[in-house]
Amino acid sequence: MILVLAGTTEGREIFSLCRARGYPVLATVTTPYGKRVLLEETVPPAGAGETEIVCAPLGRREMAALILERGIRVVVDASHPFAVFASENARGACADTGAAYIRYARPPAPLPESPLLHACPGFAEAAEKAVTFGETIFLTTGSKTLPVFAEKAKRHGKRLVVRVLPAPEAVAACLALGLPAQDVIAMQGPFSYEVNRALFRFYGASVVVTKESGPAGGTAEKVAAALDLGIPVVLVKRPAEKSSPAAGSPDELLRLLEELL
């Protein structure tokens, strides 16, 4: 059986491709919202049984137990480029159990050279940089990193507009930090250039903060929309991928699976 960390667009695609090839496959997601999106976006092949999904954050020990319990032979790590701990847990669980590990490495998005584009090595540095631009920070890095930016914006008297997933826990996190409801945009991405441009203009963004999430995360569309409006962009650089068997496309991943299985 194959275990797919399926909380991303590519993870859902890989899960569907494995099922279509007839591989027994189990998906993991961390939230009920992630499970709902997986069920909505993946169509089982004719005659397939019920979709198998584990909905819980899995540490190294829990994932190792799942691998042994279900007889997992290969773990496909299609987690987000910024989900460093999830990848570390998956690698560790495979090392503990002898299961093979394959990393789906999302390719980076090509970005233009611009004096308005400011790359930062981490979220703390990005928050420090963002407060130096105008009065309204438009944050697109998700609810998990929100406290870093909320604290910095409050200290400097800046307005913080956030765009997060339309999941109850994400919206609750925004409101718990004192953000007014009108500054919380709960939408499922990725977004087109036109949608980004309209939102940046509507909210009067002085600066846009985004992660280097690659094409699947809509990074290029966000950056292009902001730069065309003359809005500075603070870009959080993605963590470096650790060396491991990796695939850069679904087809390449399927070839690796065929070799292993």
List pLDDT tens digits, range 166-211: 999 999 999 999 999 999 999 988 899 999 999 999 999 999 999 9
H-type alpha helices, 203-245:
219-228
* Residue 8 clears pLDDT 90, i.e. is over it: no
Question: Quick check: is 202 in a domain?
Answer: yes
Distance CA 169, CA 31 (A): 9
Give the count of domains, the chain: 2
Measuring CA to CA, which residue among 177, 191, 137 is closest to residue 161? Answer: 137
76, 14 contact by CB (below 8 A): yes
Question: Is there a single domain that holds both residue 121 and residue 212?
Answer: yes
d(C-alpha 199, C-alpha 194), whole Å:
9
Is the same domain home to 161 and 138?
yes
Do 89 and 173 sit in the same domain of this protein? no
| Residue recorded with tokens 């233009």 | 112
16 forms beta bridges with none
**Do 221 and 148 fall into the same domain?**
yes
Same structural domain, 145 and 224: yes
Mark whether 136 and 194 lie in a shared domain.
Answer: yes
Residues 88, 156 within the same domain: no
Contact at 8 Å (CB) between 210 and 140?
yes
* Mean pLDDT computed over every residue of the chain: 91
Chain centroid, CA 128 distance in Å: 23
Residue 67 counted as domain residue: yes
pLDDT (tens digit, 9 = 90+) per residue, 128-142?
Answer: 999 999 999 999 998
Same domain flag for 32 and 138: no
Distance CA 226, CA 79 (A): 27
Residues β-bridged to residue 234: 118, 209
For residue 52, being part of any structural domain is answered with yes
* Mean pLDDT confidence for 243-260: 83
* pLDDT for the residue numbered 84: 86
pTM over 0.75: yes
- My answer on whether 200 and 174 are in the same domain is yes
Confidence band for 100, pLDDT divided at 50, 70 and 90: very high
Provide the pLDDT for residue 241: 75
Percent of the chain past pLDDT 70, that is, above it, reads 96
Average pLDDT over residues 239-243: 75
Query: Of 84, 76, 80, 85, whose CA–CA distance to 103 is shortest?
Result: 76
Q: Tell me, yes or no, whether 112 lies in a domain.
A: no
Is residue 83 domain-resident?
Answer: yes
Domain that holds residue 149: 117-236
Residue 48 scores a pLDDT above 70: no
Please tell me the predicted confidence (pLDDT) of residue 65.
Answer: 96
Neighbours of 169 (CB within 10 A): 12
Q: Is the pLDDT of residue 47 over 70?
A: no
Q: Please report which confidence band the pLDDT of residue 150 belongs to, taking 50, 70 and 90 as the band edges.
A: very high
Residues 73 and 123 in one domain: no
What CATH number does residue 185 fall under? Answer: 3.40.50.620
User: Using a CB cutoff of 8 Å and minimum separation of 24, what contacts does 31-39 make?
Assistant: 31/7, 31/55, 31/167, 31/169, 32/167, 33/165, 33/166, 33/167, 33/168, 33/169, 33/170, 34/6, 34/7, 37/12, 37/188, 38/6, 38/12
Partner residues linked to 5 by β-bridges? 28, 77
